[in-house]
Amino acid sequence: MTDLFEEHKTNDARSVECLGIKFDSNADRRNYFIGLLREKLKDPAFRSQPGFPVASDDAILEMSDPPYYTACPNPWLTDFVDLKGQRYDPNSEYSREPMAVDVSFGKSDPLYQAHAYHTKVPHLAIVPSILHFTRPGELVLDGFSGSGMTGIAAQWCGVAPPSFRHEIEEAWKKEGRAKPEWGFRRAILNDLSPAATYISANQNIPFRVSDFQVAARKLLAQLKEEIGWMYETLHTDGKTRGEIEYTVWGEIFSCPECVSEIDFIQEAFDEDQKVRSEFHCPKCGANLNKDRLERVFEARIDPATGQSWERIKFRPALIRYSIGKSKFDKKPDADDLRNLDKISELPLPSGIPTDRFPIEDMYHGSRIAPKGFTNVHHFFLPRAQHALARMWQLASGYADARLRHILIYYVEQAIWTSSILNRFQPQGFKQVNKYLPGVYYVPSKHCEVSPWYAIGSRGDRIARIFSKFQAKADHAIITTGSADNLGIPDNSIDYIFTDPPFGENIFYADLNFLVESWHRVKTASREEAIVDKHKGKKLLEYQRLMQGCFSEYFRALKPGRWMTVVFSNSKAAVWNAIQVALQQAGFVVAEVNALDKVLGSYRQVTSTTAVKQDLVISAYKPNGGLEKRLSERGAAPESAWDFVQTHLRQLPVTKAKSGVLEMVVERDPRRIYDRMVAWFVRHDFPVPLSTEEFLDGLRNRYPERDGMVFLPEQVAEYDRKRAQAAQAPQMELFVSDERSAIDWLTDFLRKRPSTYQEVHPEFTTQVGAGWRKHEEKPELSALLADNFLRYDGNGDVPSQIHSYLSTNFRDLRGLEKDDARLKAKAKDRWFVPDPSKAKDLEQKRERALLKEFESYKSAPGRKLKEFRLEVLRAGFKTAWGAKDYKTIIGIAQKIPEDALQEDEKLLLWYDQALTRMEADA
């Protein structure tokens, strides 16, 4: 008996076992599950699931390889979990700290480059995270799996070569960490896009490499036999026939002065193939640049419809061809032009998709439609149409389903590079097949490559790659659908790694339309979690969609286990939407790290607006005991301290970079308070402690070091590491609003009690370009008076000032606190109050903030042009406690939308108020 899909070791006629069922052959296994899937597809309820692709039953069945891959929601996920997973045991011991992932690592690895996709995290970057958070045999989930890198990483843990293992083990040893447990993990992979899951399936399900290599070569050989004449050209000797590698086509424009045609390649490009800033019209001599040129359209008959069709005009400008091993360039001659005309007169090949792009609902629609490209077949010149259609037909003709799918996986890599999106970008004598990523962009200089040039060497390369990495049978299951409805049992997943779409970075459904049209199975774009004005999806809807996905993650993940979220977006509003969605789903964020692309290392994020780098979020699902105790106690102070106790246990005790201790930002008292507030709000409870009560209680209950809070059993470890460090860790502060300005002043005055005149120039440099647009800038004098204390010269010099002066001024050393010289130097210096005084100031400040909030409520007019975020935060929190959701929503409507979306705390209150109002309606 052999394992399912071990076809690289066995043939299709050998017996297999799949999901506990024995079959005489893989063909029998496939026929059995295809039959079950066919029956499922007849069920309207099954087809009505969120994210179900737009496709016929036959197209879905043709694309699928059940039960381990379906081009629709996979009905066998529960069976896979039950057979391959491990039941949640609340008594089992499990403890991990957060871990950052270097998402730039491994992009040059051949396996990463086996198939292109719009964005992906390299599998080598994911492996350390899976090793850290899981044990061999455990289940890893990625609901936004794209091309399946998480699945490859899960299996790589079992097949990693000795050199890679040694590198990881040495790095962990230097960090004082235990040796990783090597071994296969199993993966559940989901994506909304059928194009993505098809790539994922072919990379995560094993196949016979030798059979693929033979079939790929045979396919190209047969193609050459049938249509090789289309790619022949006459050598300059007038006798020898050469093989065309690629043809460069240039767009034709017209001169705005004399209306004569301008051959863009001939007139606008210099010897280095760069566009000249200025060039001349060859007819009238007018000075021109690309912006001054006017497009020329040519009338054609659409071969799919027989109707008149206009598109921008192209003309072949250069042919690169080979004779034996020699390469030659030539301008197209009369024989070449006759050959192109002959091809264009042929009927449109059967099998080529002619679907119309949903231009009206596409972000890129305004880029391609005005140039005349509205349908899939428009993106391929006639010769490329015939080549692609025949390759697809040949690959689809194989009876062996696994071989058929891997061949189509191979052929579909020619789709983008064979289209008019492929730019001419020569490097020496080699053309780099490269389209502009993330967009439908038709260049003015297009390179039409032959199929042998496009993917001829790729078949052998794929064979080499997958002969070194062969996926293990029954270790990955792939499904196609929405991440908010995965159909996985509760509390069954051991770890989640996910790289979801962020805001309006990339429009995956639009970009996948080109490839999915060939499969005849398309993304259900309505379910796509993006910001897209063309589809009517604003940031709030994106947040709700992501919250639904994170809620599904939360349900499936085992209590006490971790999720890693990779974030890449430069907009603070999107970052805040993600944070709120995570917290509303029930996750607690334990750490956020940002990749320093210059140094190639991670630093912790200290500002919610510092999101111009790749971020890695570590979040955990609290254990079931914490949830249970909260439901029993309700909104009691004990529940708050119970949360703090659990949360501190999940945080790293120390963080170091290059041997230097760093702040563990999540251990900052105010950050802990924010996490606690989000926890109670998510559970629809009022927050049981005010800010000052919480901070005061934190100081009384837990030891504090260098501005960070620890459990009693953790502080000894920190003290040990701190004693070995050259200096205390420093908090990196970004001043962008009143709260961060107060935090900066606290840090500054704690180190250096100063007069107003001494603070002012330092403070002014901090409150600069990074200040939030709608936030009212407070006066320094008001911030000092409301939050700090000033020594007026009466009584003994406060200890904080005494320590600073006696340390930094030689003539003041050894003086008593009542010495006149010391008092004179200390007079008018501002300092950070001790905890008891700080509590009084905080209460006084809270009353002032709420008083100002009342003025916001009664302010005339529909909008507040300037306001204090601290006033809004205090007011929203108080209104929430009083269940006054109407006030929160009303004030939120008075402030600009971007101001609301760029503040995580306001967004949290507002989102919950909307939810409660909807629930009560």
pTM exceeds 0.85: yes
Average pLDDT by stretches of 10, the chain with 921 residues: 34 77 91 97 96 97 97 97 93 88 79 86 93 97 96 95 93 86 97 97 95 97 97 94 95 93 87 82 92 92 92 94 94 96 95 92 79 95 98 96 96 95 77 78 92 94 91 92 95 96 81 96 88 81 92 97 85 83 93 58 44 77 88 92 95 82 89 91 88 88 94 93 82 79 89 93 80 83 92 93 91 90 94 79 86 86 80 91 90 86 85 81 61
Tell me whether the omega of the peptide bond preceding residue 669 falls within 30 degrees of 0, making it cis.
no
Chain center to CA of 821: 60
Q: Which two tokens stand for residue 189?
A: 């992979």
Q: Which two tokens stand for residue 99?
A: 């871990």
| C-beta neighbour count of 799 within 10 angstroms | 11
pLDDT score recorded for residue 595: 57
pLDDT score recorded for residue 175: 79
Q: How far apart are CA 424 and CA 432, in angstroms?
A: 7
Q: How far apart are CA 150 and CA 137, in angstroms?
A: 15
Q: Which two tokens stand for residue 864?
A: 């507040």
How far CA 854 is from CA of 82, 242, 755, 847, 850, in Å, comes to 56, 83, 34, 11, 6
Contact indicator for 336, 316 with CB cutoff of 8 Å:
yes
pLDDT score recorded for residue 9: 37
| C-beta neighbour count of 79 within 10 angstroms | 16
pLDDT score recorded for residue 569: 64
Give the residue among 67, 3, 69, 5 at the shortest CA–CA distance from 36.
Answer: 67
**Can you tell me whether residue 131 is helix, strand or coil?**
helix
Q: Which two tokens stand for residue 304?
A: 């799919």
pLDDT score recorded for residue 572: 74
pLDDT score recorded for residue 190: 97
How far CA 921 is from CA of 286, 880, 907, 917, in Å, comes to 68, 17, 21, 6
Q: How far apart are CA 837 and CA 845, in angstroms?
A: 12
What is the 8-class DSSP label of residue 360? Answer: G
Cα–Cα–Cα angle for 808, 814, 816, nearest 5°? 110
Give the residue among 223, 192, 159 at the shortest CA–CA distance from 72.
Answer: 192
Q: How far apart are CA 7 and CA 727, in angstroms?
A: 58
- Most distant CA pair in the chain, distance: 107
**Can you tell me whether residue 188 is helix, strand or coil?**
strand
pLDDT score recorded for residue 74: 98
Contact indicator for 73, 49 with CB cutoff of 8 Å:
yes
Contact indicator for 445, 264 with CB cutoff of 8 Å:
yes
Helix axes 904-920, 572-585, angle to 10 degrees: 50
